[in-house]
């Protein structure tokens, strides 16, 4: 009888011990699950917060524009822009005749000289406007014209000269003819297309200058010749 009581006591102790172990295991599992659930919930909350922050952030559009006043000031500093040159070597014959009664006295000489005809535009006459929406810069430039005709007097050479009996060579008369030579050189340069070439070169130079002031060449450039 006494042995049965001992066995019963031992059985009860074992059952209590096993119950404690089972309860301890169940509590541990519940704690781990709660931690996992809390971590997942935290991730979801953070993701939703990030999404909300991203969605609510204002969209900032970078507006690129051009200050045309800076372009105008830069062009004005160029002043007269020579965009094309026409070099020439001209051979001429100068003749002079003086008559005394019925007799003529002739003097003449053949000579050559070098020179250059220049053409370009006045940058003060350039007009600049812009269209920020279409990203276009409109440039109105004046038609090119002849800037000057320069004869190199050091290149002057005489190949043949002849003086009359009473008609001596007079360089004053020759100097008066220089204007005619300059006009002739100017006309030849125009016939060779110096004006059209000067217009195209002016566009190229101005376009390069404007692009140097524009970041990433965002704007296109359109030219009109006035």
Summarised one tens digit per residue, pLDDT across range 40-73 is: 545 544 555 454 444 455 544 545 567 888 899 9
Q: Give the pLDDT of residue 81.
A: 94
How far is Cα 183 from Cα 92, in angstroms, rounded to an integer? Answer: 13
Q: Residue 196 above 50 pLDDT?
A: yes
Q: Residue 110 above 90 pLDDT?
A: no
Domain ranges of the chain: 1-60, 68-225
Q: Which H or E run includes 225?
A: strand 220-225
- 3-class SS of residue 181: helix
The average pLDDT across 109-130 equals 92
β-pairing, 136-141 vs 127-131, is antiparallel
Q: Which H or E run includes 28?
A: helix 2-56
The average pLDDT across 76-94 equals 89
* Pair of tokens at residue 135: 């990203």
Q: Given CA atoms 207, 213, 217, 223 in this order, what sign does their dihedral have?
A: negative
- In terms of average pLDDT, the best of 15-19, 32-36, 196-200 is 196-200
Give residue 201's pLDDT band: very low, low, confident or very high (50, 70, 90).
Answer: very high
Q: Are 115 and 210 in contact (CB under 8 A)?
A: no
* Pair of tokens at residue 149: 């005709």
Q: Give the pLDDT of residue 153.
A: 82
The average pLDDT across 174-201 equals 88
Q: Are 98 and 177 in contact (CB under 8 A)?
A: no
β-pairing, 145-162 vs 220-225, is unpaired
More confident: 81 or 58:
81
Q: Residue 100 above 80 pLDDT?
A: no
Residue pointed to by tokens 């008559």? 99
How far is Cα 190 from Cα 171, in angstroms, rounded to an integer? Answer: 29
Q: For residue 113, how far is the Cα from the chain centroid?
A: 40
More confident: 89 or 107:
89
Q: Give the pLDDT of residue 125.
A: 94
How far is Cα 78 from Cα 85, in angstroms, rounded to an integer? Answer: 17
Q: What does pLDDT average to over the chain?
A: 76
β-pairing, 80-100 vs 103-122, is antiparallel
The three-state DSSP-derived secondary structure of 39-104 is HHHHHHHHHHHHHHHHHHCCCCCCCCCCCHHHHHHHHHHHCEEEEEEEEEEEEEEEEEEEEECCEE
* Pair of tokens at residue 69: 């006043």
Please name which of 218, 1, 17, 9 lies closest in space to residue 131, comparing C-alpha atoms. Answer: 218
How far is Cα 113 from Cα 94, in angstroms, rounded to an integer? Answer: 13
Could you report the per-residue pLDDT of 163-187, keeping only the tens digit for each? 544 455 555 555 666 788 888 899 9
């Amino acid at each position: 009888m006494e042995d049965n009581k001992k066995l019963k006591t031992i059985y009860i102790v074992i059952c209590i011990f096993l119950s404690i172990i089972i309860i301890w295991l169940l509590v541990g599992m519940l704690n781990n699950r709660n931690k996992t659930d809390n971590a997942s919930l935290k991730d979801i909350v953070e993701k939703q917060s990030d999404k909300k922050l991203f969605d609510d952030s204002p969209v900032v559009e970078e507006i690129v524009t051009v200050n045309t006043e800076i372009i105008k000031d830069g062009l004005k500093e160029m002043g007269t822009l020579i965009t094309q040159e026409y070099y020439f070597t001209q051979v001429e014959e100068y003749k002079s005749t003086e008559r005394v009664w019925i007799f003529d006295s002739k003097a003449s000489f053949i000579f050559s000289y070098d020179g250059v005809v220049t053409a370009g535009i006045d940058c003060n006459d350039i007009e600049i406007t812009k269209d920020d929406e279409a990203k276009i810069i409109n440039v109105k430039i004046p038609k090119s014209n002849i800037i000057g005709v320069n004869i190199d007097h050091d290149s002057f050479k005489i190949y043949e000269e002849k003086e009359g009996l009473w008609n001596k060579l007079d360089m004053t008369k020759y100097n008066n003819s220089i204007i005619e030579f300059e006009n002739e050189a100017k006309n030849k340069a125009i016939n060779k297309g110096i004006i059209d070439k000067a217009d195209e070169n002016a566009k190229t130079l101005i376009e390069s200058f404007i692009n140097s002031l524009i970041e990433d060449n965002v704007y296109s450039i359109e030219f009109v010749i006035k």
